[in-house]
Structure 1
Amino acid sequence: MTDETIRPADARDVPAVRAVTDAAYRPYLAAIGVAPAPMAADHAADVAAGRVFVTGAPVVGLVVVEAFPGHLFLESVAVHPDARGGGVGRRLLTFVEARARALRLPEIRLYTNALMRENQRLYPRYGYEVVERRVDGPYDRVHYRKRLLPGVS
């Protein structure tokens, strides 16, 4: 990766956002039995709404976030399989936390499919705690949150 900055995506990034998201989530198709929700997202609308932030030139990782009263919702983290193990995911999660703090939001929330077992090992290492497990349509989801203390990373 030649560029480690994380920046808001723009309309020119939509094909890369789609490609990275599809590549990142494709391995879960067989296990889940349906396309993971991020694969079906309206990427152009998310980019236009300012919810997508990308890294890399070319794009190798991204997050989709949305601010709500009281929390920042982390809808998706996607790292292209070719870029895994290089710290891209860690940098994106650090960015999400900084974004929540900049927006003065005390909490980050996210969910992951219960069959994405590596995520259930990953998120607690970054300070996320399980809130609940809930079935939403075809998805069995584990919901997490990370409470942010003022002035603490």
Structure 2
Amino acid sequence: MDDAWQDRLVPEVRVRAATPADAGEVGILVELAYAPYVGRIGRRPAPMDQDYRAVLLVGTGWVAELDGRIAGVAIAVPRPTSLLLDNLAVDPEVQGTGIGERLLAEVERHALALGLHRIDLYTNEAMTENLAYYERRGYRETARAEEDGFRRVYLSRMLPAAP
């Protein structure tokens, strides 16, 4: 393995709270990240049509900055017994470098800080890469359903109690 590849594997990333001012850049990032799925699903995935300024005004989100730009985003919504991971997206140019892992770790820390020990999420069944990604990270399928014309797969992960 050459050193350049190793540098891409663990990039210098700064994760910080997302703000409504990030909405434009987050929207562009989401467009890039979800574009490959449009053909598979037969329509735009729901995250591509969200108003990220409104989402970030009321929700909890984080961005991963790499070289002065937003390279990843995670958005989570607290629920009574779990934290819903509403969106996790990484710029396709840097997917596979650990940015998603860093954001997912931040979401998990946030859940535990809220006293929540379960993270729930859903993805489209046509997004097979996402299903495999989450399963490798301990998420387990809990249900499948068709909602709003999307064939969704629901997954959950129990978090260990904080030490």
| TM-score bracket for this pair, using the shorter chain length | over 0.9
What count of residue pairs does the alignment treat as equivalent? 152
Aligned to 1:97: 108
CA deviation after TM superposition for structure 1 residue 137, in Å? 2.1
Query: Aligned equivalents of 2:114 and 2:13: distance in 1?
Result: 22
> Any stretches of 5+ residues in structure 1 without a counterpart?
none
> What is the correspondence of 1:44-83 to structure 2 with a 5 Å cutoff?
44-56=53-65, 57-83=68-94
Match of 2:138 among 127, 130, 153: 127
Once the two structures are TM-superposed, the CA of residue 3 in structure 1 deviates from its matched residue by 5.5
Residue 109 of structure 1 aligns to a residue in which SS?
Answer: strand
* Runs of 4+ off more than 4 Å: none
Per the alignment, in what secondary structure is the counterpart of residue 95 of structure 1? helix
Deviation for aligned residue 1:94: 1.2
Q: Distance in 2 between matches of 1:45 and 1:106?
A: 27
Measured on the aligned residues, the alpha-carbon RMSD in Å equals 1.5
Is 1:37 aligned to 2:50, yes or no?
A: no
Amino acid corresponding to residue 18 of structure 2 in structure 1:
A
TM-score by length of 1: 0.93
* TM-score computed with the length of structure 2 as normaliser: 0.88
Following TM superposition, by how much is the alpha carbon of 1:35 offset from its aligned partner in structure 2, in angstroms? 0.8
Taking the aligned partners of 1:132 and 1:6, their CA distance within structure 2 comes to 31
- Structure of higher CA gyration radius: 2
